[in-house]
Amino acid sequence: MAELIWDGKYVDGKRQAPVRVALPFQTIETVNESAADRQRTLDLFAAGRQTEWRNRLIWGDKKYVLPSLLPEFAGKVSLIYIDPPFDTGADFSYIASVPPRPSKADDDPATFLKEPSILEQKAYRDTWGAGLDSYLKWFYETAVLVDELLAENGSLFVHLDWHVGHYAKAILDEVLGQDNFKNEIVWWYYNKLQGNVNHFAKNHDVIFYYAKSKASPFQRIQEKRDKPMRQQKRVWDSATGTLKQGRDADGNLEYYTVTERLVDDVWRMPYIMPADQTQNLRYPTQKPEALIERVISATSTEGDLVLDCFAGSGTTAAVAEKLNRRWITCDLGRFAIHTTRKRLLSIPDVKPFVVQNLGKYERQAWQTAEFPAEGEQRAKEAAYQRFILDLYRATRLPVMHGCTGFGLDVWFT
């Protein structure tokens, strides 16, 4: 089997494994919990019984969130859908649009530049800092961890596009196995407007679908045709093991009218347009709910656990909630967590869920990994200070004699 190699995959002839630091989750809020729900939880806790399930919205880097989920959920997740970054030139900043208040409906939407946070800048550097090599290392580590979280009959969907999709497919084949690959699904967003480009317009994404085993569930889906279609009847010939034309008693060909068609691997679904007033949350990477609904409906049943470690605007969690699946979703961005939380609360009768993070444990794990204790403590502190200065594009100023402080005086440029 051919193997994709990137800088850092092997060190001294040994394949590098993902960092596995299992950290304790900190629940910072239980959302939409009634007094009765709270009392029942307290009663169960007092009786020493496990409390009932709560869906989980987690703020944190999947590098630390996924290993922290493994002790409880290894081999227990029915469906994983991920929509990771796939633009090597992108960062975590974007223009956000805020619609006017109802009383000012005629006003234009307000816009603002959402700058990347310090954590997002760090994640961007880890993902793209060394170009494609660092992305492939980052993606490989993600694939290994999600594979371990998948149940033996679980399914994985990875949403990418032309930037890195072909590289990711080779990694997924290596981690999950070529035999477990089911489909390369093409999402054709026929309504996306294109500028005057000197090539064929790029109007589709790809979604790689893997099933962990032959026992993984799959439900065929029908969709409405644009107009009824007259179709020739086919019958199975057991003698030849083939389909043949159906005929009536007089030998005439038989026909019937169909109004639906089986969904294949090309999904014709509209892009969320800027003027959309039904589900557009003004989140730049937001996907239509119909897309995720098809994924969840085809490969899971009610009560199954669905995971998305790139929450974005929260589409996966919202659709899983509406389809009565359990869900866990996480994101590094604070804006993504706020957007997802607000979106979930807009769902009628949304079940209580918890908002969690890894608190100081994530920061400590990051500091240990970024600045290993090699040499004296003073050198370690100096490396950490240089890192903070670089993030803020700051320059150290000399500490004036007689001044007191924390020893890190800076000037922002």
18-52: per-residue pLDDT in tens? 878 888 999 999 998 876 666 666 665 566 665 68
Gap between the Cα atoms of 171 and 109, Å rounded: 42
CB contact at 8 A, 209 and 155:
yes
Q: Is residue 172 part of a domain?
A: yes
CB contact at 8 A, 42 and 317:
no
Q: Is residue 372 part of a domain?
A: no
Same domain, 168 and 50: yes
Same domain, 129 and 204: yes
59-69: per-residue pLDDT in tens? 998 999 999 99
The domain boundary residue, chosen from 209, 243, 259: 259
- The answer on pLDDT for 268 being more than 90 is yes
CB proximity list for 216: less than 8 A, separation 6 or greater: 153, 154, 155, 299
Same domain, 21 and 169: yes
Q: Is residue 46 part of a domain?
A: yes
Q: Is residue 54 part of a domain?
A: yes
Both tokens of 278, joined, read 């039904």
277-319: per-residue pLDDT in tens? 788 888 888 999 999 999 999 999 999 999 999 999 999 999 9
Gap between the Cα atoms of 144 and 175, Å rounded: 6
Q: Tokens 């390369």, residue? A: 184
Q: Is residue 4 part of a domain?
A: no
Q: 241 falls in which pLDDT band (50, 70, 90)? A: confident
Same domain, 288 and 185: yes
CB contact at 8 A, 114 and 355:
no
Same domain, 343 and 402: no
- The answer on pLDDT for 408 being more than 60 is no
- The answer on pLDDT for 411 being more than 70 is no
CB contact at 8 A, 218 and 295:
no
Same domain, 188 and 240: no
Mean pLDDT of the chain: 83
Q: Is residue 3 part of a domain?
A: no
Same domain, 252 and 276: no
Same domain, 30 and 57: yes
- The answer on pLDDT for 162 being more than 70 is yes
Q: Is residue 53 part of a domain?
A: yes
Gap between the Cα atoms of 14 and 84, Å rounded: 27
- How many CB atoms sit inside 10 A of residue 148's CB? 18
- Which of 218-227, 324-333, 366-375 bottoms out in mean pLDDT, i.e. has the lowest? 366-375
Same domain, 144 and 79: yes
CB contact at 8 A, 336 and 282:
no
337-387: per-residue pLDDT in tens? 999 999 999 999 999 999 999 887 666 666 666 666 554 555 656 666 666
Same domain, 144 and 253: no
Q: Which residue has the higher pLDDT, 408 or 381?
A: 381
Same domain, 45 and 137: yes
pLDDT value at position 352?
A: 94
Gap between the Cα atoms of 64 and 309, Å rounded: 11
Quote the pTM value.
Answer: 0.81
List the CATH number of the domain containing 55: 3.40.50.150
Q: Is residue 161 part of a domain?
A: yes
Structural domain total, the chain: 3
Q: 186 falls in which pLDDT band (50, 70, 90)? A: very high
Q: In 3-state terms, what secondary structure has residue 315?
A: helix
Q: 170 falls in which pLDDT band (50, 70, 90)? A: very high
Same domain, 294 and 398: no
The residue segments making up the domain with residue 251 are 227-259
Mean pLDDT value of segment 251-271: 92
